Amino acid sequence: MGFEQLAGLKEQLAKQAASNAAKKKAPHVRRPAPAAASKPAEPAKSAKPAKSAKPAVPSKPVDPVVHTIGKLQKRFPLAFPKNPAPKVPLKVGIFEDLMKHAEELKLNEKELRSAIKVWCRGNRYWTCLVQGAPRIDLAGEKAGEVTTADAERAVYLETNRLARSAPAPAPAPKAAEAAE
């Protein structure tokens, strides 16, 4: 394809894009179809039913806990920071505080329990549990400190998770098999 042809194609695509933009701005105005000098008019094709049209982005089902955590992050951003911000140690008994806001958040006890369980599990939360670090309430105020036992448990949980995810070592050859 030569430069002249590319320039012509570019010009044609620009006109087509402008035409499409104009159609989107005023969909109620019917525009006449452009006359094609070299091609005979094609018969109109029947419109496809809306049911067969697929969405541009396929939607995946989202875990309800993700929605619940999203609500908590919007309502209590200091206690439930969004990634990549590090998580903060939550106040012991924060669930009871959340239950006071359950009606306002339109969440039930089961949803809140599941969200707290998921939130307080994993490396991102365990790394914030450092001895002496302040625990945070829903308003972001200090409500206690991380104890030595809590910090040790977080290290224990993280090392166990790493041990489970590490590949199993290859079995060592037995002495009897090695002698043969």
Given this model, what pLDDT does residue 15 score? 84
In angstroms, rounded to a whole number, what is the distance separating the alpha carbons of residues 78 and 136?
8
In a domain, 144, yes or no: yes
In a domain, 133, yes or no: yes
User: Digits of tens for pLDDT over the chain (180 positions)?
Assistant: 566 776 777 788 888 887 777 666 655 555 555 554 445 555 555 555 555 555 566 677 888 899 999 999 999 999 999 988 999 999 999 999 999 999 999 999 999 999 999 999 988 999 999 999 999 999 999 999 999 999 999 999 988 887 887 776 666 666 555 555
- For residue 79, what is the domain's CATH number? 1.10.1710.10
Which one-letter DSSP state was computed for residue 2?
A: -
Domain count, the chain: 1
Nearest by Cα to 124 from 81, 160, 92:
81
In a domain, 1, yes or no: no
Given this model, what pLDDT does residue 53 score? 55
Residue 73 domain boundaries: 64-165
Given this model, what pLDDT does residue 163 score? 80
In angstroms, rounded to a whole number, what is the distance separating the alpha carbons of residues 64 and 88?
23
Given this model, what pLDDT does residue 35 score? 53
